[in-house]
A and B are shown apart, each in its own frame.
Chain A
């Protein structure tokens, strides 16, 4: 049994059920006057049906055995946690402290994951920040986030 398919089909069924409930409250309408929930409703029904097929198909192929835990063994998944966490901190910080300081901190963490020397980390982060700032802010005229102190 492929545990990946079991878990994911359950997840998508729940997702579809959630959308289905929401679409009901939006109103489905009729064929002559379809309402906002019309296609959401039909699509989520179809999604549920497809997931049930995936779920059921598992019981035909009994010989393959894949467990969820196996997907993460022997991997440095903690690195991904650090990356995702620092990215989320970045999105909350960047409107407050501005592009330059926030991006410098982010790049320092990311370069740091590669296990470089401290001064290389600082220099390469600074380079990345200022090159990207010049390219986007000045050459492409994209207003990058400013800090509350307007720089």
Chain B
């Protein structure tokens, strides 16, 4: 009852006219930024942060939260339409979303993504409100060994992304892991594989990599096809998802939400990890896993739901413990401080209007985003009607600025081009880039947690067996790896 009262209080804060306008502005800005590849929620919040200096604290923070949720919604749009992932969390959406678009079902894919995001975001919020406290302490219990084991388990899910050869997917994943280790060592800050190039000190950024491997590579692949055709020569079948789509997607949305819900609270992991773990789960439980990668609705519904649920619940550690679980929330943490509010255990007592105002505003924001995004779908689908000779140059320009906008650095454009060429060649040689990107994202966390665990235990691997969560994840890992090998040997 008390929770309900507080919620109404939060909603009343969010529905005050100036605040409502700020939420709307934030959601709109977030959607725009989410749609553009490269500059993601982190960049958006940091760039727009100075604009909120004049606003009252509650208003400023709910606007920034609106930008974050808006960006999470918008991220899938370019993945589906033109195979350019808007941010790391929507790389997985490319796999089936773009295939759906090629089959004339862009509208259905976008619709499922929006509805899935809405449902997941809202369920995530209910969770945020109900079990914020216990969940946040669970997150704290995760130390290096637990992370290491969970991420190791995550690597096995990468294999599920493979549509053709598992060996080739493994090669891609290992290459991604190697690429993630370019730059100053995360523990000793010694340079590794930087060849004295100062732009490589901080390592490669995931966005130019993803934009190159997916976006530019796709354009190059299409550009050389003999007659200049459209990317989508198929007729656009539907503007919105149909009943069959819903029936296929409903469980995927719920499972994706559940996965994102828990992953979101874990420091570090969050949206990206949950998006592809949920994809892997869907492929595993599906009756016809061969559909995945060829336009399976579940392959869009699950990751999009997961990353939005994770986006909601990632507020939990920030609001209750004062610990931002990922980069976006770290920037938001800075925003709180600038406005004189310290997130943490005292927040709910000292600034109830901010705490409940954020939660209320996120409910409102989800509704606004649903209303905002639905009419956009038919509009986005029109993008695909642009003739290729105009569309391709524009996609290339978008890739160029997208890569540049992350660090305002021309060097990142060069990286994007190199990986565009690599992606094109990999396609020729029948490799798939998704495992590479995911291993690249997980790589740094994998490495530091392995090394920290070993430092903690003074070199003994027993540290992974003494802790229940780590042990459970390891057992699961060996089952996942062992079963296919066992079956393979028996078949022989």
Contact = CB atoms under 8 A, between A and B. Distances in A.
Interface in A82-119: 83-84, 87-88, 90-91, 94-95, 103, 106-107, 110-111, 113-116
A95 to B, nearest CB: 6
Contacts of B420: 84, 87
B170 A50 contact: yes
Interface string A118-151: 0000001000100010001000111111000000
B393 A31 contact: no
Contact of A114 (B48, B178, B226, B393): B393
A31 B226 contact: no
Contact of A43 (B178, B408, B421): B178
B39 interface: yes
B216 to A, nearest CB: 8
Interface of B: 33, 39, 44, 47-48, 165, 167-168, 170-171, 174-175, 177-178, 181, 185, 187-188, 190, 192-193, 219-220, 223-226, 228, 387-390, 392-394, 396-397, 400-401, 404-405, 408, 410, 413-414, 417, 420-421, 424, 428-431, 446-447, 450-451, 454-455, 458-461
A76 interface: yes
Given A12-B175, A50-B170, A80-B424, A110 B392 contact: yes
A36 B190 CA distance: 7
25 contacts: A15-B178, A31-B454, A32-B459, A39-B177, A40-B178, A46-B174, A47-B174, A50-B170, A50-B174, A53-B167, A80-B224, A83-B223, A87-B396, A87-B400, A87-B413, A88-B417, A91-B410, A91-B414, A110-B396, A113-B393, A114-B228, A114-B387, A140-B405, A142-B404, A142-B405
B85 to A, nearest CB: 19
A46 to B, nearest CB: 6
A90 B396 CA distance: 12
B459 A43 contact: no
B132 to A, nearest CB: 33
A137 to B, nearest CB: 10
A142 B48 CA distance: 10
A35 B186 CA distance: 11
A39 B181 contact: yes
Nearest to A51: B171
Contacts of B190: 26, 36
B417 A71 contact: no
A16 B193 CA distance: 12
Contacts of A140: 33, 39, 44, 47, 405
A30 interface: yes
A57 interface: yes
B22 to A, nearest CB: 17
B39 A142 contact: yes
B424 A54 contact: no
A8 to B, nearest CB: 5
Nearest to B406: A142
B224 A76 contact: yes
Contacts of B223: 76, 79-80, 83, 113
Contact of B388 (A19, A47, A76, A114): A114
Q: Which of B39, B429, B431 has the most CB of A within 10 A?
A: B429
Contacts of A57: 167
A142 B393 contact: no
A132 B185 contact: no
A33 interface: yes
Nearest to B409: A145
Contacts of A94: 410, 413
Contacts of A36: 185, 187-188, 190, 192
A29 to B, nearest CB: 9
Interface in A1-51: 4-5, 7-9, 12, 15-16, 19, 22, 26, 30-40, 43-44, 46-47, 50-51
Nearest to B451: A34
A94 B413 CA distance: 11
Given A12-B175, A54-B167, A114-B388, A32 B458 contact: yes
B436 to A, nearest CB: 12
Contact of B429 (A4, A53, A110): A4
Given A88-B414, A111-B389, 17 more contacts: A4-B428, A7-B429, A22-B193, A32-B460, A33-B454, A34-B450, A35-B188, A36-B188, A39-B450, A57-B167, A74-B226, A76-B224, A79-B224, A95-B410, A103-B397, A106-B400, A145-B404
